[in-house]
A and B are shown apart, each in its own frame.
Chain A
Amino acid sequence: SYELTQPPSVSVSPGQTASITCSGDKLGNKYACWYQQKPGQSPVLVIYQDSRRPSGIPERFSGSKSGDTATLTISGTQAMDEADYYCQAWDSSTVVFGGGTKLTVL
C-alpha cells in the first residue's frame, strides 16, 4: 500500500523558519495537501494542491514540492503554530495520510 513519510518531530525557535517534509513514491505526480491539528481540535487544511493556501490561512504558511518530496514551510513561526501536521495525497482512488509531524516551538 502507498505510504507517505514524515519526520516524527521538528523543533523551531520562535520567529525562525520551520520545514516539514513528506515523501512518497511518485508523489511528484500527485497533489499534496497539509493539515494542522492542535490538541483537542479537528484538523484544519493549511495547504492544498502542493502550494495553494485556503482563505484565512496566514501567509507564513507555504508549500512546495521537489521531485517526490513535498515541504510545508512556516516562516516566522509563532507559538500558536505548535501542533501536529499531516500531509495527504490520493493514490488509486484512496486517501493516504502521512504519519504526522509534531512541531515544537521552543
Chain B
Amino acid sequence: EVQLVQSGAEVKRPGESLKISCKGSGYSFSSLWIGWVRQMPGKGLEWMGIIYPGDSDTRYSPSFRGQVTMSADKSISTAYLQWSSLKASDTAMYYCARQDTNGPADYWGQGTLVTVSS
C-alpha cells in the first residue's frame, strides 16, 4: 500500500526556521517525484514545487522560489520542506503528494499544519 506520512503540526515564532518531512512507503520512493502543496486557511490549493528523490532534481513554482527549500534523502525515503525564516503568512496546511510529471498527484500525505505566530 502506497503511503505518505508527514510530520506533525508545528507552532513557530516569526523568524524561526523549520523543516517538515514526508516519508514514503509501499513503492520505489526514488523513482517518482514528490510535490508540495500549500493550503492557507480557508483557501485553495497552491503548488509549491516538486523534487525527484533519485537525484534531488528540484523544480520550484515561481511564487515559492527563494522562499522555501525542498530536499530529499532517498536512503530513508523521506522528502523535506524547509524555511530559514518563517513569516506569519506561512501559516498554512502543507501537503506532500506523489506527483507524476505531466500527470496527477495520485497519493497525498495527511498534511502538516504550520502555525506562525508571535
Contact = CB atoms under 8 A, between A and B. Distances in A.
Interface string B84-118: 00000000000101010111111011110000000
B102 A90 contact: yes
B44 interface: yes
Q: Which of the four size classes fits the interface of chain A?
A: 20 to 34
B59 A94 contact: yes
In this complex, the interface size class of chain B, counting residues with CB under 8 Å from chain A, is: 20 to 34
B62 A1 contact: yes
B104 A86 contact: no
The main secondary structure of chain B at its interface with chain A is strand
Contact of A94 (B44, B61, B95): B61
Contacts of A99: 44
Contact of A33 (B47, B95, B103): B103
A86 B110 CA distance: 17
Given A43-B97, A97-B44, A97-B46, 16 more contacts: A42-B109, A43-B105, A44-B108, A45-B106, A48-B103, A88-B45, A88-B104, A88-B105, A90-B102, A90-B103, A93-B59, A94-B62, A95-B35, A95-B47, A95-B50, A98-B44
Interface of B: 35, 37, 44-47, 50, 59, 61-62, 95, 97, 99, 101-106, 108-111
